[in-house]
Amino acid sequence: MMKTFKIGLLGLGTVGGGTVRILQETRDEIERRIGHRIEIELIAVRDLQRARLVDTDGIHLTDDPFAVVNHPDIDIVVELMGGTTLAKELLLRAIENGKQIVTANKALLAEQGNVLFALAEKNQVNIRYEAAVAGGIPIIKVLREGLAANQIEWLAGIINGTGNYILTEMAKPEADFAQVLKTAQALGYAEADPTFDVEGIDAAHKLTILASIAFGIELQFDKVYTEGITRVTAEDMEFARLFDYKIKHLGFAGRTSDGFSLRVHPALVKKEVLIANVDGVMNAVMVKGNHVGPTMYYGPGAGAGPTASSVVADIIDVIRAATQEPTERVPALGFQANRLTQAPVEPIDAIESAYYLRCYVQDHAGVLAQISGAFADLGINIEQLHQVPNAEKPQDATLVIFTEKVSERKINQALVALQALTAVDSMIQRIRIADLG
């Protein structure tokens, strides 16, 4: 028997407008897929007088978001307003009222998701959130369902289009960070305040969610090591190119001998690795399962169409799940709530990696011997060492060092030893080298 499911939207911005448009234009196709109708009952907006980018004739609008979550006829609340304070209060109320939930709010889930998921389970409510990570790429469903036969060993993703655009443009001749950032802002790829993107906070929110689904661990945003791209220079991009690498801003989550590693930082990636060739504002996530091996998922990570496509897919999933017993539904995080792993997230200094180091040194006899000796004293093997004379300062040179894999703790000790040498400038660049084999 065909039923009509009524939707309430919180927010009618870019993604909200895209969601309304898809539901209007694809209504017949969706009905064919699920055997039920979908109607938008009410949308909460900030300004009732503002011009809309989508046709809202026949749809009730309100400037009171609580009218949506308290509406007796609404079955599914779709939260697209962002933020972590009011949005949390609204979703808690919606869950208590028995509403099914669809959200694109990665910050809210990463920081408050444990509370929301626990309340949803208690109230037998579904929360779906595909649009919270990587826009139109169905990576949540891949991890939660498509790769369910695998133990996930690690995942690595370009999960912020703004940062990826900046690094892509910086690889071009005579480009620098400040210049490229201004271009990104002019094109609408970066916000007026780009902190969340360029400092890795947005990517850390998304990585928190991906790691929870991949490994069956609680959401632990506060444990993610986060490093931005503001210190990456055109000089680093050029050295990466010379040695057949590209620099990408990666979110990485993996199993370790004592727990898990969750980190966001710039990384050198070998050019032949697929993810190294993901450019512009596109996103990609590599996942290695113990049976399937490495797989990669690529597509647009933002925008009205791609993100709204994921929102509507979640609405469809929620409606399909409404006909199932709560115990038979796919769990929100892919694992039964009482089976979440408690293994700790290790600090960044516990990881092992190969490293790219760049510094300025005095160009005279004995300097390289001092530097090599400092590494040898710590048992760190140098894989490559490259010195470039400074045309403007003949007494100085740029030194690039590639190390073999070593613990972060040891490389930190090496940096201290190098900075103690009078022939070495104290400003030393350090970028980790990704091992995605």
Indicate the pairing of strand 429-433 with strand 259-270: parallel
Please name which of 436, 417, 437 lies closest in space to residue 428, comparing C-alpha atoms. Answer: 417
Closest Cα to residue 40, out of 25, 56, 54?
56
| Pairing between β-strand 382-389 and β-strand 396-403 as defined by DSSP bridges | antiparallel
Structure tokens at 250: 């990666």
265, HSE (Cβ side, Cα atoms, 13 Å): 18
Token code pair at residue 129: 């959130």
Is position 223 annotated as part of the catalytic site? no
Please check whether residue 332 is in contact with residue 40, taking contact to mean a CB–CB distance below 8 angstroms.
Answer: no
| Active-site residue identified among 206, 223, 246, 248 | 206
Q: Which residues contact 89 (CB under 8 A, 6 or more apart)?
A: none
Q: Which residues on adjacent β-strands are paired with residue 267? A: 248, 432
Whether residue 361 contacts residue 369, with contact meaning beta carbons closer than 8 Å, is answered with: no
**SS3 call for 270:** strand
DSSP letters spanning 358-390 = EEEEE-STTHHHHHHHHHHHTTPPEEEEEEEE-
Q: Count Cβ atoms within 10 A of the Cβ of residue 391 and give its class: 0-12 exposed, 13-18 middle, 19 or more buried.
A: exposed
- Bridge partners of 354, per DSSP, are 433
In 3D space, the residue among 115, 245, 105 whose CA is nearest the CA of residue 167 turns out to be 245
Contact 105, 87 (CB under 8 A): yes
Task: Name, in order, each residue with C-beta under 8 angstroms of 110's C-beta and a sequence gap of 6 or more.
Answer: 204, 205, 206, 208, 209, 219, 221
CA distances from 261 to 255, 279, 337 (A): 6, 25, 21
Helices (H), 143-286: 161-170, 177-186, 195-198, 201-215, 234-242
Query: 124 in the Ramachandran plot: left (φ > 0), alpha (ψ -120 to 50) or beta?
Result: left
Catalytic residues: 206
